[in-house]
Structure 1
Amino acid sequence: MPSRIVVLGTGGTIAGQAASTTDHVGYRAGEVRVADLVAAIPALQSHVLDFEQLAQLDSKDMGFETWALLARRTQALLDDPTVQGVVITHGTDTLEETAYLLHRVLKGHKPVVLTAAMRPASALSADGPQNLLDAVVLAESQGVFGVLVAFGGAVYRGDRVRKVHSYRVDAFASPDAGPVAWVEAGQVRPLVPWVEPDGWGVEGLPLQARSWPRVELLWNAAGVDGEMVPLLIALAQRENRRLGLVVAGTGNGTLAQPLERALQNAQAAGVRVLRCTRCAAGPVIPAHDSDLPSAGALSPPQARVMCLLSLLADAADQVEGVSARSVVPPMP
């Protein structure tokens, strides 16, 4: 039986340091190494853990190269018969994007648990130690698999989690679905069946940032005219990169007429376009009068990841069934 849990550190607030124990916003993210985070939690000393420092960054600065490195290393660990599961410490800012990416590319029937913190390690009442302990407990629990997020005692699916608050320690949720489990007093209480990753494969993730497509986020709002769309097309052409546009519409993905026309023209010219909602919850239900594809219930940042993978899959042309259409997941 595999027995090791490997903790991969990428930085974030969970590894942050501030000059004062009461400073929750003026800290430096990614200052504490993952080995020191583990060593500072007495309850983890009886667990069989290995740890690796893959990055030390503020997750607002997460980039394509780190994503490719993280995904490839995680897959290698999942393929290792001595590894039971993987825990990833991450910043909260882009955690929902990384979790969604890993859900879409990883293969295997083992747990990958992301965790983070809203308060730095130096805080008087840091939330990171409990979150990290819960993540390890979850990864060690028999029968658990899939890409998961352990945060604030709750467990969320990696493809449905969203950051919903800028400051509170209960900053994550799955607005349309809720948690899939709770971690209570060192025990995991599942609420619904676990879900395996989609398994697109990590080989298609380029190691160089310039080899990724350019996918930009646009928003519908009062007075938006769509003039940015041709400028982005021209930029992508100068860079010789594939272009995708994800638009966060109002309500059910509705768009101002000038913006919709600009996106329709872009789609006709070969630009990949996805439509989601700027609302905090709910899917975009496809409308009969719109030819712009829906991103389902994904948040705008997750829809951007989906668009990136769709364009990479098209370029690689190597994985059967992963195409511009099939990479869009069904609505829950």
Structure 2
Amino acid sequence: MQNPERSIVILGTGGTIAGTAVEAGDTIGYRAAQLGVASLVRDVPGLAGQALETEQVAQLDSKDMDYGVWQALARRCAHHLARPEVGGLVITHGTDTLEETAYLLQRVLAPSKPVVLTAAMRPASALHPDGPQNLLDALRVANEPGARGVLAVLGGTVHPGAEVRKSHTYRLDAFCSGDAGPLAYVEAGQLRRLREWPQGEGLGLDLLEPEAADWPWVELVSSHAGADGRVVSALQALGVQGLVVLATGNGTVHERLEAALVRARAAGVKVWRSTRCAQGRVLAKPGDLLPDAGALTPFKARVEVLLQLLLEARRQHGA
């Protein structure tokens, strides 16, 4: 449903959706981020006549996403969301770190207009690229009256930005929303919504104001057979400020690794437990030695720890 009075801004960051390969049949040996976002829009016939603006914020393979790009993207989102003539945003992104960018934007901005991330599993040069349909579907969602929050649209499925995760390495339906399931489906140009739009208060764009090089250092470590605490001790000696452990099962951690993490936490390192399981959440229980991340995946938990450390730094600076 197109709103004729308001435009949609499409922000490009690169990714597979903008990738090309020498051979049209090559869907894994391509180079990401080769085409500009304006070119992507021109190549989708269904977008002709829509009130659209395009802006290239970055041009990179999303495996190489960094804090500087996050800062620039969040600022451009905030700028365009503040314009009354803009009804929503679409962001073209790589699939590899889309879930992290989506979580960050939802937590920082929690927009009252839709901010829709979309991507592709096949490059633009493929015989049957999925990017054009994903872009068309994302614009359909961005034009939906009443839509709000950060969303991800891929393969005809709408995911909340705080919950979306990449769950397959290669196939076209590579994303899911965890236990809660999709927010909606785009079916033949129509939106079928299953649950409510994302809600909540944003932490504020000013949280991301420090120079990217000054952001806290947060790393992931994994619990597994034979794990010990040497990696934690090494990271702590190098100045790590936050750690998220990919725990086994319901947040269990190898005793040697757990002992090192407890020591690190006592020394001031922020430590959270998530689970390396593909589904489910960590359920807290009496006697837990380390705080848990609840339903957050390890990668979203890492972003949340990063944001919490930035909040603490801002409070200390304000004090």
Category of TM-score, reference length = shorter chain:
over 0.9
TM-score, normalised via structure 2 length: 0.96
Preserved contact between residue 180 and residue 192 of structure 1 (Cα < 8 Å): yes
Range that drifts further, 183-192 or 33-42: 183-192
1:312 aligns with 2:310: yes
Percent identity over the alignment is 56
SS in 2 for 1:203: helix
Preserved contact between residue 157 and residue 180 of structure 1 (Cα < 8 Å): yes
Count of residue pairs brought into register by the alignment: 315
Residue 166 of structure 2 aligns with an amino acid whose one-letter code is K
Distance 2:317 2:50 in 1: 38
Shift of 1:198: 3.5
Range that drifts further, 43-52 or 100-109: 100-109
What is the match of residue 168 of structure 1? 171
What is the match of residue 299 of structure 2? 301
SS in 2 for 1:99: helix
1:286 aligns with 2:284: yes
Distance 1:59 1:266 in 2: 31
Shift of 1:113: 0.2
Preserved contact between residue 5 and residue 136 of structure 1 (Cα < 8 Å): yes
1:49 aligns with 2:52: yes
Distance 1:318 1:191, change over 3 A: farther
Equivalent residues in 2 for 1:142-153, closer than 5 Å = 142-153=145-156
Preserved contact between residue 184 and residue 192 of structure 2 (Cα < 8 Å): yes
Preserved contact between residue 246 and residue 275 of structure 1 (Cα < 8 Å): yes
TM-score, normalised via structure 1 length: 0.92
Q: Which runs of 4+ in 1 moved over 4 A?
A: none
Distance 1:14 1:79 in 2: 27
Preserved contact between residue 79 and residue 108 of structure 1 (Cα < 8 Å): no
What is the match of residue 328 of structure 1? none
Distance 1:64 1:287 in 2: 35
Shift of 1:197: 4.9
Q: Could you report, residue by residue, the CA deviation over 1:254-313 in whole angstroms, capped at 9, with x for unpaired residues?
A: 000010000000000110001000000111111211131111111111110000000000
Residue 213 of structure 1 aligns with an amino acid whose one-letter code is P
Residue 150 of structure 1 aligns with an amino acid whose one-letter code is V
Preserved contact between residue 149 and residue 198 of structure 2 (Cα < 8 Å): yes
Equivalent residues in 2 for 1:1-332, closer than 5 Å = 3-206=6-209, 208-236=211-239, 243-317=241-315
Preserved contact between residue 107 and residue 199 of structure 1 (Cα < 8 Å): yes
Distance 2:127 2:211 in 1: 40
Distance 2:236 2:178 in 1: 34
Q: Could you report, residue by residue, the CA deviation over 1:170-218 in whole angstroms, capped at 9, with x for unpaired residues?
A: 0000120111101111111111111135300111114532210000000
Residue 192 of structure 1 aligns with an amino acid whose one-letter code is R
Alignment RMSD: 1.5
Residue 65 of structure 1 aligns with an amino acid whose one-letter code is G
Distance 2:307 2:147 in 1: 26
Preserved contact between residue 147 and residue 196 of structure 1 (Cα < 8 Å): no
Structure 1, gaps ≥5 residues long: 237-241, 321-332
